[in-house]
Structure 1
């Protein structure tokens, strides 16, 4: 869920990346089974170069600089796979060469949707500097179509407008009240700034999964080795559904349940945030001067007393102000990881003193806004991709969903009567293309591995169990709190089992578990 941008999007996830100076070329012949009409894309070359020009913010530049062997390039794909001779898109791709003799590429997606694969690749190289994975694989990430440094990228508003906090891309989990004109204006503005309606309608997960197969072929890999996290588990599962014969290994971490539709899954995610809020409150209660009091069962009530006044009267925060939705967004951003709980508590304490600096900074940090006020396009890409993936809701259904969300996560309830929970995609010119359920009953898929944390705040553990069942995958259960774990490199138990699988294709034993 978003920080400062929490008014416009729902739960997600990210990673980190950087630069090399020499230019090389990756030549590849088209595979014998190249899909009809796509030879020009499957047989292209990537001209690798330094990554400096691929950064969109100072944060990205700094992270890229920490991965000095990383190189970047662009890959051309059809904007519409049904019209391969028509318009094209150019994906930004990054590669960190293996420290040893590579057995192939490990393609990474950090989630979102809207997370940058370039950033994730650099981050993974930094967090796993001496790991078996970086010894054995070229780490590869790409910004999916519409995301980050890929072209065209989804663009709906300026950085200055993002800083204003007035952007609206979603009503769910917020106190935003929309009109039909609002949702029409959103579509028109995004289309104008992104290069046309056809760009907005080309960014669904099914097309992004087809792009992965082009990436695989151009890298020279006969089969794909893939590590997907959060939304990346959906992207990987859809790839497996479309190209099971091209999968070598697939590790899916922080799994989305492929059998749940939009409403059920979103309510489940917010239920997870309420659980994490209560866990945070219990931690807070053990400390002196906890702003939520010493009785965790009353934490939501205490929180309401502090945060609900912001609905009518925001408080000063950094160079702006902090309203109710931004405060909720800052708390939710911190709930993704137990390590951020002290920052949430400090932010709530600060609210009692009439300031919102820490909670607004949590928003900024989660969104990767840099100190110069530049934002990545995460929120905009998430919005457009979800419009191509998620079930479309009527205003009545949207209002019912918002009511269900506040029932599932009462700490987020503004305590006022709300209307206008319209679907931000209601004027989208095409129907969603994902379909539910997806990735079930796949034939010919090699053994895969799902990793799931029991206390995951946004992709509940039950979803990991279900994805493993749907794919016939092995399940590694991680006992603890947090969202995704494999790319962090912080847990030796997880590190070893992930490496055993991705390198040697050795699955964990049935019932395997690790602890955070």
Structure 2
């Protein structure tokens, strides 16, 4: 669907999770002993993704072996790439992390803790989940050249011929996924598979219980781990949380609302300046935005020796709403657009199109495995209309009573069921939610905390995720919980000083 193509779903975690259950006993599951008892051999990160960055902060890398199919323990195995920022002080244990996505590159995530007390007391572990980055096998559907070509493929023609062409492209993409990855592995890249991998990694590292920090989709992974292995958890922080009970289509529409709200916050801030490219009346900002961006569908503008088209402009816009840190560059890019240039916006689109943040093929494989599948064109169009009404910043002016079925509608492996939501035996956990989070709206974090019985830290701001980024009123209670297991006596609420 065009909304999903044009918008970076990368950190949202809008997925259903696969069915499955793990043992709640503290020992290894039957038949998994050889995986749980393996030795992790740490060494150089040369040859791993982002190896130079990891080396610069003194990190080490290794691989952990897991079964591809946990129902066939003597079958094929996968190698999960892990990184370690070793504890610099008295060590509590290991802390496994996940940056979201699904498909967020994980080996560099420990870097965000490098100057914190958490890194003094824990070996902070980054993980490229199965199918991603330096882990093998890897999910591969598109070549870099094919990714680049997709950035100019608008799919805005809603005539019968246009819909047929878009669906033909989707079938071709699915065929490439099957050819380059295989249906067997595509059937085993779901959240439950990754949750089981994390339990194997925990045991292989020598930790009796898991300490975990997950953001965005990482909260969906965390709640899945909590449902599978509640008694094997020591501490768990889930930031930018996703309601574990939500159907993913509900999440997608909530996400649209979140991005519209974040845009309105950006526009109000921009309007304080007389030279704001959206004008000084925030009420007119969405209309002014669409007046700048939608013409790019027919008439791209120069961007250095290239051209800025609609898809790249929309990508730059939406990704810039993840944090106020990106707002100045967005203003610069929109100002250039009023002058008929796209240099800054295409540079922003380039940045977020790179695999430095999210690997799109794995993301697609997980979303299509776990999303509710829309197989009726009229239903797809109705959802499209609801999203456009809720978030007019996403309206390209090409709505219709029909819409093409997306890739997930014809995905070559069966859809997964939801995981269980029984958290009996789970120790106290901690959730963090931001009131103006565009990608995982605040209520999802509230519902996640309620489901897990977590204490909730509410941060009043407009950004995606709030822990570990230098906000003292969030980081201090998070650190005390992780290190000392000191749980806040009540829910907390704070804003930046």
Partners of 2:462 and 2:8 in 1: CA distance: 23
RMSD over aligned CA atoms reads 2.4
- The residue aligned with 2:75 is 86
Partners of 1:484 and 1:142 in 2: CA distance: 19
Q: 1:220 to 1:461 in 2, by over 3 A?
A: same
What's the offset of the Cα at 1:11? 4.4
What's the offset of the Cα at 1:192? 2.0
What's the offset of the Cα at 1:134? 0.9
Partners of 2:133 and 2:189 in 1: CA distance: 13
Q: 1:110 to 1:259 in 2, by over 3 A?
A: same
Q: Does 1:461 align with 2:442?
A: yes
Partners of 2:174 and 2:358 in 1: CA distance: 16
- The residue aligned with 2:480 is 500
- The residue aligned with 1:66 is 56
Partners of 1:244 and 1:112 in 2: CA distance: 23
Q: Does 1:48 align with 2:42?
A: yes
Q: 1:9 to 1:408 in 2, by over 3 A?
A: same
Q: Secondary structure at the match of 1:360?
A: helix
CA contact 2:388–2:394 (8 Å) conserved in 1 = yes
Question: TM-score, normalising length from structure 2?
Answer: 0.91
1:340-359 alpha-carbon deviations (Å, 9 max, x no partner): 11111111111122222211
1:463-482 alpha-carbon deviations (Å, 9 max, x no partner): 11100011111111111111
CA contact 2:98–2:127 (8 Å) conserved in 1 = yes
What's the offset of the Cα at 1:37? 1.7
CA contact 1:148–1:376 (8 Å) conserved in 2 = no
1:36 to 30, 41, 44: 30
CA contact 2:10–2:102 (8 Å) conserved in 1 = no
- Once the two structures are overlaid, the 10-residue window that deviates more, 395-404 or 493-502, is 395-404
1:150 to 102, 111, 135: 135
- The residue aligned with 2:384 is 402
Q: Secondary structure at the match of 1:142?
A: strand
CA contact 2:46–2:52 (8 Å) conserved in 1 = no
- The residue aligned with 1:185 is 172
What does 1:353-368 align with in structure 2 at a 5 Å threshold? 353-368=339-354
Q: 1:170 to 1:301 in 2, by over 3 A?
A: closer
- The residue aligned with 2:16 is none
CA contact 2:7–2:314 (8 Å) conserved in 1 = no
2:197 to 205, 208, 211: 211
- The residue aligned with 2:279 is 293
What's the offset of the Cα at 1:170? 10
1:124-148 alpha-carbon deviations (Å, 9 max, x no partner): 32xxx1x221111110111111111
Q: Does 1:259 align with 2:259?
A: no
Question: TM-score, normalising length from structure 1?
Answer: 0.87
1:203-242 alpha-carbon deviations (Å, 9 max, x no partner): 0001110101000100000000000000000000000001
1:101-139 alpha-carbon deviations (Å, 9 max, x no partner): 2111011101000012202123432xxx1x221111110
What's the offset of the Cα at 1:318? 4.2
Q: Secondary structure at the match of 1:359?
A: helix
1:471 to 452, 474, 480: 452
Q: 1:32 to 1:341 in 2, by over 3 A?
A: closer
- Once the two structures are overlaid, the 10-residue window that deviates more, 239-248 or 392-401, is 392-401
What's the offset of the Cα at 1:156? 1.7
Q: 1:85 to 1:504 in 2, by over 3 A?
A: same
Q: Does 1:393 align with 2:393?
A: no
Q: Secondary structure at the match of 1:289?
A: coil
